[in-house]
Chains A and B, each alone.
Chain A
Amino acid sequence: MKHLLLILFLMISGRSYAVDTRQLLDLKQQESYETLTKELRCLVCQNQTIADSNAELAADLRRQVYEMLEKGKSNDEIIQFMTDRYGDFVLYKPAFKGKTVILWIAPIVFLIMGLITVFFFIKRKKTSINLQNRADSLHMNEDKQKKIRSLLENGDIS
């Protein structure tokens, strides 16, 4: 019981906070700040967003986002600013276009390939089981027939 409680409390406490928080006056800007910093990749630590990372470059990019929001720039303008400088790689969620199409399509293709494989696998297994069953029943019949024949020819010895 004690352990269970401990585990329960540990689970509850697992809340993470952003590395730094800036306060913008406008609630909508604050929201933009939070979504933008979660959409932009930290280019030094590649698998973190700039909201998660405390690398120096991430801090500089957060400052940049903050200042641009303060100046009243829209989310799209800020995303454009970043991709102009760092390329599509700065976007954590890549844009859907020629170069990135394989990223978006590949999972679906793999899923379909998997489903097809499973389908044929099950189908083959089923037919092989059916054949096996039929062979078994034929086999049994043969045995029984032999017994019947011997009973008919020799009569019941027992």
Chain B
Amino acid sequence: MSFAPFLHVEQLRISHRLPAGDRFIALTLDRLDLAAGDHLALTGPSGSGKSSLLAALAGLDRPARGRIVWGDTDLTALSERARDRWRRDRVGLVFQEFHLFDRLDVLGNVLLPARLGGIGAAALKPRALELIDRVGLTRPRQPVERLSRGEMQRVAVARALLRSPGILLADEPTASLDAANAAAIGSLLIEVAQELGSTLVIGTHDPRLRERLGREIRLDAGKVAA
């Protein structure tokens, strides 16, 4: 490696507890390095460990073994509280099912991360309005439950970008959209990541989205496929 990697993962093992109490190993990954601004596609069938890896990269789960280092932050050494705060300030997350909050309008959803602490909503409001415009929405006061699915995912992308995160993680962001919207959201994610210089990791089935990202890691049954 000629560069100091922005993301450095080594000897990773992620396990989950089954309801019966047993643990099973969801993913093992010997090594992964990404430079700042890299784009990575995680592919593979359902249950191959894509979501588990994304959750671990976001600091949502603590791996059973191994290290995940983002920049100078070793996630595996942080407490849960510290990971929450780190994620809040550094990570933008986009989900397959959008996970917007009904009865909050577009602006309210985009500003939601600001309600969770750190920089206040008032300070981030101009940024939120700018983002709403950037993702192609025109009515910040519209209730999100009246939006189309494509528009909902645009709101979710804007929400993920609120704190200009250096890390953008998306789990099947286009899987529940029609082809036209899937293409548009895929382009949007790549464009905004480029604009911010963010590192983008997307778990996806979508071959067209995969092709547009620079790198691909294919997972199968919890391991990197050959």
Q: Do A and B come from one complex?
A: no
Partner-B contacts on A (CB < 8 A): none
